[in-house]
């Protein structure tokens, strides 16, 4: 059977599967270049404006799960640079050890029940990624800790909206290791393998792998699915992250990862009447985990800014700093010098 006939026979099935899930969209890819060059890139796609600022958090910060008295608490072991959402959550960031955390929408997420007076403490979903950045240097450390399920991830509606927060969490580290954490039917499911370089949204990760396995039999240079649905973005990102140059040159590696996530971005202003949750890209982030540089691009400004983590004071005596970008402020190039001391934001909880 030729590849064209395979497409004809199976495209209806794939379209049906993909159309069954409508979610605020995002895409994440991990680049594994030569000589352990590792870069993680992601898009933040959302159906409403999602203002972002960049933050520097030092070690030694006292954190709280923000779900009432029955919350976990911890002290940050590692400093980090994060992109905030509305200054109530950390959906993306990299810590000083090169661990990267990305939260992406997964509409089929179902979290365990949380009892404010129960035996198991809770953590607001707004701080899920931050908890990983604060506490772990590697994916394996994080996976081993999360697998113990010593606390419950607690979610709620995004303030002022009818959007109930349902996300999954991806982790990658400076060795290229990778993990995907999803709550399915109230259970934590962890996919841990350095081969898991791509994550998008619905369907659940296991089903996305199955869809991608089908497309591996079709030459990517001849045909790739082109819609903005999550399953199609997964296939394109999976193909291109392998096709781009495998290099240890930071400039070329970062540019290559940007080219992939721009390819899977959703053009600004795109909306589909019968699929209101397919959303345009709001911002992009690329983390060079080998050289500890975090790049950020807001689609409404023409420039990329970056933060060199090697030049930051992450010591316990360091101060929290903020680079405001949520009002259309324009910066270009290395932005370390433009961060200003700021009071840390409070994570949205119950």
Catalytic residues: 26
Question: Are 169 and 101 within 8 A, CB to CB?
Answer: yes
What does DSSP assign to residue 186? T
Task: Report the candidate in 114, 204, 133, 135 with the shortest Cα–Cα distance to residue 166.
Answer: 204
Question: For residues 26 and 265, what is the distance between their CA atoms, to the nearest angstrom?
Answer: 8
CB 201 within 8 A of CB 105: yes
User: Which residue do the tokens 């200054």 mark?
Assistant: 87
- Burial of 319 by CB count in 10 Å (0-12 exposed, 13-18 middle, 19+ buried)? middle
**Residue 134 neighbours by CB distance under 10 Å:** 23
Distance CA 94, CA 224 (A): 31
Q: Are 266 and 25 in contact (CB under 8 A)?
A: yes
């Amino acid at each position: 059977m030729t590849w064209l006939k395979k497409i004809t026979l199976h495209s209806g099935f794939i379209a049906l599967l993909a159309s069954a899930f409508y979610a605020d969209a995002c895409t994440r890819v991990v680049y594994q270049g030569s000589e352990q060059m590792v870069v993680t890139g992601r898009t933040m796609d959302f159906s409403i404006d999602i203002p972002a600022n960049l933050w520097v958090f030092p070690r030694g910060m006292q954190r709280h799960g923000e779900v009432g008295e029955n919350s976990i608490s911890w002290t940050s072991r590692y400093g980090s640079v994060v992109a905030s959402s509305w200054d109530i959550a950390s959906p993306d960031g990299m810590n000083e050890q090169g661990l990267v955390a990305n939260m992406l929408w997964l509409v089929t997420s179902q979290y365990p029940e949380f009892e404010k007076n129960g035996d198991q403490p809770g953590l607001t979903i707004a701080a899920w990624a931050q908890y990983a950045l604060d506490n772990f240097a590697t994916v394996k450390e994080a996976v081993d800790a999360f697998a113990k399920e010593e606390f419950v991830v607690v979610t709620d509606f995004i303030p002022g909206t009818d959007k109930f927060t349902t996300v999954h969490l991806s982790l990658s580290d400076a060795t290229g290791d990778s993990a995907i954490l999803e709550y399915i039917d109230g259970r934590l499911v962890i996919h841990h393998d350095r081969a898991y370089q791509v994550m998008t949204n619905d369907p659940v990760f296991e089903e996305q792998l199955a869809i991608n396995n089908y497309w591996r039999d079709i030459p990517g240079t001849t045909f790739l699915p082109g819609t903005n649905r999550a399953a199609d973005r997964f296939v394109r990102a999976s193909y291109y992250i392998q096709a781009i140059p495998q290099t240890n040159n930071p400039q070329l590696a970062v540019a290559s990862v940007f080219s992939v996530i721009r390819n899977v971005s959703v053009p600004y202003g795109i909306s589909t009447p019968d699929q209101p949750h397919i959303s345009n890209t709001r911002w992009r982030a690329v983390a060079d985990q080998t050289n500890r540089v975090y790049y950020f691009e807001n689609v409404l400004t023409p420039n990329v800014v970056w933060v060199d983590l090697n030049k930051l004071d992450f010591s316990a005596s360091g101060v929290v700093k903020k680079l405001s970008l949520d009002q259309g402020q324009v910066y270009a190039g290395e932005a370390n010098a433009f961060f200003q001391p700021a009071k840390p934001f409070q994570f949205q909880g119950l």
